[in-house]
Chain A
Amino acid sequence: MKTINKLQSDVLIIGGGIGGLACAASLKEHNPELDVLVVEKNFAGYSGKANRGGGVLQYFDLNRIDPAEFAVFHANAIGAFLGDQELMMKYVSMNTEMLDKLASWGVNLPKNDDGTYHVMPTGPMTAMICVDLDITLKVRKYAEKLGVRFIDKTALAELYKDGDHISGALVYSILDGELSLINAKRIVLATGSQNYRIGSMWSSGRGDGIAAAYRAGAAMRNAEFGNFAQLAKVKSHNEIVFGENFMYNAKNEFITKNFREFRETDINSNAIREWYTQMTAGNGPIHLDFGPQGGDDGALERLWNRPYGHKFRVLNDESGNAVDTDLEICPMFIGEQSPIMVGHDMQTTIPGLYAVGDCCYSGSGLAGAVPAPPGRNRGSGILNAVFDALVCGEAIGTQKIEASFGAISDAAVEKDVNALFAPLDKADGVSPVKVIEFVQKAMAPVELSVWMHKDRMDKAMGFVNEAKKLVPQMKAKDWHELLNCREAEAMVLSAEMHYKASEMRKESRGWFLREDYPEMDNKNWLKWIIVENKGGDMTLSTMDVPIAGWPAQPQN
């Protein structure tokens, strides 16, 4: 058997994006004695999404807005009664605390001369703040100062339990395959969502943490809400936030009016359906026309001074603008499946295993019937991760942690190591790219994954099954490609969960659109779909949404 380093930590955090880093900082603040280790596939602080995105943070003026009021608005307008309203109220009520926490960790939050945050209203209840994109570097630096340890360029392979309780993880270096078995009393997954490598900026979301949790037996919830799509320019593929308010067909008819009366801050799946309907009717291509005021590239940069992120954003915009000779658009499938089920303390269904951020945004129930982030709730990606991190940090940081470590079975580890390295030992086989191609064929076309119908989903499942057949044949020439194999396998799993759960949900709700079941069905479907691995088989069941005591109730 290959040599395996034996390591230990009280709390092991997998993933060093904003969720993992904020959790590490929070844990140490609650209990400085805890030994906290972060293992990151790339470089914690540089990796993940918070530093490549818009940097928009949702802001609630808590002097003006009652958290219950927002929960009601959200349930009616966004989450379609599938969201956990109790959690939403807690999320809103912690808004100022989260921002102040980030600021205290050294994150550059823009302020006015009088010391208040520089905020811009976005709707009757919401507003936003723009943070500079070194946010994750700042939090890593702070966590290091508190004594958090880091291992970079190292990926999670498998999780282990002693009885029911989490006991450790097998990780491997993506540089040279060095293996480590880490005994831990608590593990926090902060590995991000599943994006299937389609949208470029989202491409680090490959779902391998979700897959490891699933294999270990953790339940998944809301896996069918992992089908986010955004409008993008057809040449540069740069996304156009807000573009859905300005859609025209080739006859120059204003087609936005077919699915919404008023401008909204966020895209909904009806915009995607409208694009498809117009295209199939021969009315394409579809373009945007912002009118005399033009598009708003760079608006954020003008409003907020963000020295770190400035060059990055300018390079992106300039390069895209050089190829975009027109404003023709099409959907870009982004996915954002985030299904690890957690309770109000961020614990998964495996005792001792927690999850925070994008790997469990839908799974926490916060978002309701929309893919998340952004969950039609702009600026909630980063803050949801910080919210989860603070809740999880407090939950673990205030626990009395047992002195001894749980056991890890040698036989299980040996089996997993052999399976992990199997693609490297093959003389012949298929490239992981081949597997990913089949998954992308199943997920990317929006008429399969967003505007759904049983017949089209069956076609998509055909591609998923093709991909699945190739998984055991994957071959890797080096450690980088081995990682690609693991990620490809995780993508197959995510796609399978998406389509199985989507076929089961026989209604339309929120973002979730089925041509064959166009109505929302509160009588039968105020339910969450739970996906679980039972002895290697994917099983689906439902759980009633405990809506009775919550502020918002559906009318019918």
Chain B
Amino acid sequence: MINTKHKIEFDAEKCVGCQQCYKSCFVDVIRWDKEAKKPVFKYVEDCEHCFYCQSVCKKDAIKVVPDYSSEHLMQSFEAYK
């Protein structure tokens, strides 16, 4: 998908800086802030709402909120309705 509008809610208070979420993203949405020892959700427009980062976070610090309407399968079926 391109130009998605999914949101990622991050609770920095809960985060213990384990880097699991950073490593888990398969499309480079998440970067690592070395000073703050926290993830940065830098390229959210490329997020695929796969939920992997949320599922590996043992501290429940991440919530992926998909906006499905921002994903387009590009079938021309609207035209045939």
Q: Would B27 and A237 count as touching, CB distance under 8 A?
A: no
Contact with B along A441-462 (1 / 0, CB 8 A): 1001111000000000000000
A301 to chain B, nearest CB (A): 13
A26: interface (CB < 8 Å): no
Is B25 among interface residues, defined by CB-CB distance under 8 A? yes
Q: How many residues of A contact B (CB 8 A)?
A: 51
Interchain CB contact under 8 A, A446 and B75: yes
Please report the C-alpha to C-alpha distance between residue A197 and residue B26 in the assembled complex, in whole angstroms.
12
A312 within 8 A of B: yes
Partner of B27, one of A203, A333, A445: A203
Binds B, one of A46-54, A366-374, A418-426, A492-500: A46-54
CB-defined contacts of B3 to chain A, threshold 8 Å: 433
When distances are taken between beta carbons in the complex, the residues of chain A under 8 Å from B46 are 484
CB atoms of A42 and B75 under 8 A apart: no
Q: A284-B77, A445-B75 are in contact. Are A42 and B1 (CB under 8 A)?
A: no
Q: Is B73 an interface residue (CB 8 A)?
A: yes
Task: Judge whether A312 and B73 touch: CB under 8 Å.
Answer: no
Query: Chain B contacts of A316 at CB under 8 A?
Result: 50-51
Residue A523 CB within 8 A of the other chain: no
Quick one: CB contact mask for B23-57 with A, threshold 8 Å, 1 for yes? Answer: 11111100100000000001100101111101100
The number of chain B residues touching the other chain, given as a range, is 20 to 34
CB neighbours of A270 from chain B (8 A): none
Given contacts A200-B49, A316-B51, A444-B74, contact A236 B68 (CB under 8 A): yes
A residues with CB within 8 A of B = 41-43, 45-48, 51-52, 152-153, 174-175, 197-198, 200-201, 203-204, 232, 234-237, 279-280, 282, 284-285, 311-312, 315-316, 319, 323, 330-333, 433, 436-437, 440-441, 444-447, 480, 483-484
A41 nearest CB across to chain B (Å): 8
B1, A197: Cβ atoms under 8 Å?
Answer: yes
A315 B51 Cβ-Cβ under 8 A: yes
Which of the residues A41, A51, A52, A333 comes within 8 Å of B73, measured between beta carbons?
Answer: A333
Q: Determine the distance from Cα of A331 to Cα of B76 in the docked complex, in whole angstroms.
A: 10
Q: Nearest Cβ in chain B — how far from A357, in angstroms?
A: 15
Give Cα A197 to B27, complex, Å: 10
A444 to B77: give the CA distance in the assembly, Å: 12
What residues make up the interface of B, taking CB atoms closer than 8 Å to A? 1-3, 23-28, 31, 42-43, 46, 48-52, 54-55, 64, 66, 68, 71, 73-77, 80-81
Given contacts A279-B80, A332-B73, A312 and B27 within 8 Å (CB-CB): no
B4 and chain A: residue at smallest CB distance: A200
Contacts A/B (CB < 8 Å), 28 sampled: A42-B25, A42-B26, A46-B23, A46-B26, A46-B52, A47-B26, A153-B28, A198-B73, A198-B74, A232-B73, A236-B68, A279-B81, A280-B80, A284-B77, A285-B77, A285-B81, A311-B55, A312-B55, A315-B51, A316-B50, A319-B66, A323-B68, A331-B73, A331-B75, A440-B2, A444-B74, A445-B76, A484-B46
Question: Closest A-chain residue to B20, C-beta based?
Answer: A46
Supposing A198-B73, A444-B75 touch, asked if A319 and B80 sit within 8 A by C-beta, the answer is: no
